[in-house]
């Protein structure tokens, strides 16, 4: 079984983990309502995807 011969210092260990960061999701502008949305998803504001309404969106009066 592989066992380390020497203790790995905190600097070496932390240097190896330095690139383990989360990346922010890529946001694009909805062409219909100009809201920021994730790419390739239905817009939660207007319900449009690929130029057509996919989800019927309720207005404030209907709620």
Q: What is the pLDDT of residues 3-49, one digit of tens each?
A: 999 999 999 999 999 998 899 999 999 999 999 999 999 999 899 99
- Domain borders along the chain are 24-58
Which pLDDT does position 43 carry in this prediction? 93
pLDDT at 63 over 80: no
What distance lies between CA 63 and its chain's CA centroid?
29
In which band, very low, low, confident or very high, does the pLDDT at 60 lie, cut at 50, 70 and 90? low
Q: pTM of the prediction? A: 0.56
Residue 61: which pLDDT band, with cuts at 50, 70 and 90? low
The strand pair at 52-53 and 48-49 is best described as antiparallel
Instruction: Please name which of 9, 57, 7 lies closest in space to residue 30, comparing C-alpha atoms.
Output: 57
């Amino acid at each position: 079984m592989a066992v380390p011969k020497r203790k790995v210092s905190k600097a070496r260990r932390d240097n190896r983990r330095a690139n383990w960061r989360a990346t922010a999701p890529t946001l694009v502008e909805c062409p219909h309502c100009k809201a920021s949305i994730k790419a390739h998803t239905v817009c939660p504001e207007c319900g449009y995807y690929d130029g057509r309404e996919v989800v019927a969106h309720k207005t404030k009066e209907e709620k």
